[in-house]
Amino acid sequence: MTDYDVIIAGAGTGGSIAAQAIAKRGHAVLLIDKKERSEIGHKTCGDALGAHHIKEMQDLIGLPAMPPGIIEHEVNEIDLVAPDRVQRMPMVGPTIKGYSFNRLKLGQWLVSLAENAGVEVLASTRVKKLKLEGGKVSGVTIEGEGSGAEKQLRAKVVIDATGAAGMLRRQLPENSVIEREVAKEDMMVAWRDIYETPDYDFEHPEVLEIFYNQLQTLGGYTWVFPQGRHRVNVGVGLMTLEGHRVPQDVFNTFVRSSWDFMKTKLNAIDSGGGIAPVRRAMDTLVDDHFMLVGDSGCQVNPVHGGGIGSSMLGGAHAGITASEALERNDTSIEALWPYNSRYMNSYGTKQASLDIFRWFLVRVTNDDIDFAFRKGIIKATDLLGVSMMGKMGMGKGEKLKRLASGAGRISLIRRLAKVAKMMDTVKQIYSEYPDSPKGLVPWKARLAPVFDAAKNV
Ligand SMILES: Cc1cc2nc3c(=O)[nH]c(=O)nc-3n(C[C@H](O)[C@H](O)[C@H](O)COP(=O)(O)OP(=O)(O)OC[C@H]3O[C@@H](n4cnc5c(N)ncnc54)[C@H](O)[C@@H]3O)c2cc1C
């Protein structure tokens, strides 16, 4: 006997969507979060989301329209700024449209939708252990925050949606097909503040700005995301590579001294550090009776670190697949496997090719970036293609054109062309993602050399 059909650990964006999707199909779901009910959704984040992600949720699970009050400001442009702070590449177009929003309110709305669909929400409760029976996942052990009393619960499927902590994933048995740990070099660390700026006017709150500077934020960037004319979300994120800098120090030295608005009166609304995985999604997101959703499954864009939309996408696909499996009374790895194919087709493939591009971004210097912006070696259309589709159009003709304009830094263009080719190779391998667990090992063996090579381009 099980207590629930599905237990979901973590009521973030991914977990709440998965819960809603499963309960809507009539299954019994328990959604657990260690935060108080009124705090679910409160998280260190850039609070920016592409509008297309909401549309996807409407199509996949019938998400209703967002109620007023969640969106702080609409976004219609993202400007990428070179380290010299002179070159600027504006990205515009339908795929850029989105929102600067209130993270807590978004989280509260998503949990209430899950409740309305019939999900039982257990807040202020920590999921402590993964329960195994005969080596297979069978439930969890929970503890009410501060109560000291543990309780065991059984379910046909357990979903780890605990975010970057991957709290249950890390407790899987050693012989699980799922990787239990994420390498340090595949993590991003960040610091971010939200301020009201009574004396500073963000004239264009519809434009988000991303600033590159490899000396300060290696492999990452500083973001300045206005949330209105007198409110801003500002932060720094960098890759956790050997000897990396501490993001809070970078914020307090570099950001405080380099942006005019930081020198005006600032009323702090929120402040904190955070982490996110910035690699390709876990090669399998399922094992017997077990699924990963959101950051715990590394469903984050490796280049810009956005993971709200993709965690919701993961949650929706996981929810639909788990429901189908429950309806067939089979929650084995084989029955849950279609979640992998659905996620890889809809987002995982793009993520993997961006993971290649990420290593290129780590290796370029400030001079390289300034030069590439100045000479048009990297164009807004490339970056749009890269961030939206994980594709960079660098055919032979285009390569020659850029070689001509980039005389003086030929090796940079050759490296870029090589990266574009590797991204295509990865996409090809993902188009042959195995349709059952049996194919996983040989498939992974094809990926490994490409990623090894990407680190050295
Ligand atoms: C600094 C920073 C800025 C970012 N900016 C953006 C952005 O602008 N746009 C964007 O799209 N993405 C952004 N991201 C990424 C995005 O926040 C995440 O990818 C997304 O929130 C992942 O959702 P999730 O549901 O997997 O996890 P989360 O939203 O982190 O939710 C996990 C939940 O699990 C709960 N939990 C954890 N452990 C336990 C436990 N043991 N027991 C019970 N509950 C538990 C937590 O309380 C939490 O509510 C940013 C990330 C960081 C760190």
327 three-state secondary structure: helix
Question: With a 6 A CB cut-off, is 11 part of the ligand 1 pocket?
Answer: yes
What tokens does 446 get? 């094809």
Are 13 and 308 in contact, with CB atoms under 8 Å apart? yes
Task: Say if CB 197 and CB 44 are below 8 A apart.
Answer: no
Q: Is 436 helix (H, G, I), strand (E, B) or coil?
A: coil
Distance of CA 182 from the midpoint of ligand 1 (Å)? 16
The residue whose CA has the least distance to atom 52 of ligand 1 is: 45
- List the end-to-end C-alpha distance of the chain, in Å, as a whole number: 54
Residue to probe by mutation, ligand 1, list 36, 39, 43, 53, most atoms within 8 Å of CB? 43
Could you tell me if 94 and 117 are in contact, meaning their C-beta atoms sit under 8 angstroms apart?
no
Q: Which of 7, 8, 17, 33 maximizes ligand 1 atoms within 8 Å of its Cβ, making it the mutation to test the pocket? A: 33
* Cβ-contact 125, 145 below 8 angstroms: yes
Ligand 1 centre and the CA of 446: distance in Å?
31
* Domains and their CATH numbers in the chain: 4-47+102-182+279-336 (3.50.50.60), 185-277 (3.30.9.10), 351-454 (no CATH)
Burial category of 424 from C-beta neighbours within 10 Å (exposed 0-12, middle 13-18, buried 19 and up): middle
Distance CA 227, CA 204 (A): 10
Name the DSSP class of 66: P
Distance (Å, rounded) from C-alpha 337 to C-alpha 342? Answer: 9
The protein residue with its alpha carbon nearest to ligand 1, atom 3, reads 45
Positions of the chain with pLDDT lower than 50, given as ranges: none
pLDDT value, residue 91: 85
Which pLDDT value is given to residue 376? 78
Nearest CA to 362 out of 410, 421, 303 is that of 303
Tokens for 200, please give them.
Answer: 């500073």
Q: Which atom of ligand 1 is nearest to the CA of 125?
A: 43
Residues 159 and 318: their CA atoms lie apart, in Å, by: 9
CA of 62 to the centre of ligand 1 (A): 23
DSSP string for 374-385: HHTSS-HHHHHH
Task: Report how far Cα 299 is from the mean position of its chain's Cα atoms.
Answer: 5
Q: Is 123 helix (H, G, I), strand (E, B) or coil?
A: coil
Residues 6+ apart with CB under 8 A from 158: 6, 7, 8, 9, 130, 137, 138, 139, 140, 168, 289, 290, 291
**Whole-number pLDDT of residue 414:** 83
Separation CA 80–CA 222 (nearest Å): 10
pLDDT of residue 188: 97
Does ligand 1 lie within 6 Å of residue 305's CB atom?
yes
Per-residue confidence (pLDDT) for residue 396, from 0 to 100: 62
Cα–Cα separations (whole angstroms), residue 98 to 13, 50, 351: 17, 4, 20
The residue nearest atom 18 of ligand 1, judged by CA position, is: 307
Distance from the CA of 41 to the center of ligand 1, in angstroms?
8
Q: Please tell me the predicted confidence (pLDDT) of residue 381.
A: 61
Residue 128 alpha carbon to ligand 1 centre in Å:
18
Report the alpha-carbon distance of residue 162 to residue 35 in Å, rounded. Answer: 11
Indicate if ligand 1 lies below 6 Å from the C-beta of 238. no
Handedness of CA 63, 69, 74, 75 (dihedral sign): negative
CA distance 100 to 78: 12
Is the distance from the beta carbon of residue 162 to the nearest atom of ligand 1 less than 6 Å? yes
User: pLDDT tens for residues 131-171?
Assistant: 999 999 999 999 988 888 999 999 999 999 999 999 999 99
- The pTM of this model reads 0.95
Sequence-ordered alpha helix ranges (H) in 292-348: 308-327, 333-336, 338-343
126 close to ligand 1 (CB < 6 Angstrom): yes
Q: Which residues lie closer than 8 Å to 389 by C-beta, 6 or more apart? A: 350
**pLDDT (tens digit, 9 = 90+) per residue, 260-291?**
999 999 999 999 999 999 999 999 999 999 99
Strand partners, 140: 130, 153
- Among 209, 261, 226, CA closest to 72: 226
Instruction: Give dist(CA 338, CA 322) in Å, integer.
Output: 9
Per-residue pLDDT at 148? 85
Q: Whose CA is nearest to atom 4 of ligand 1?
A: 45
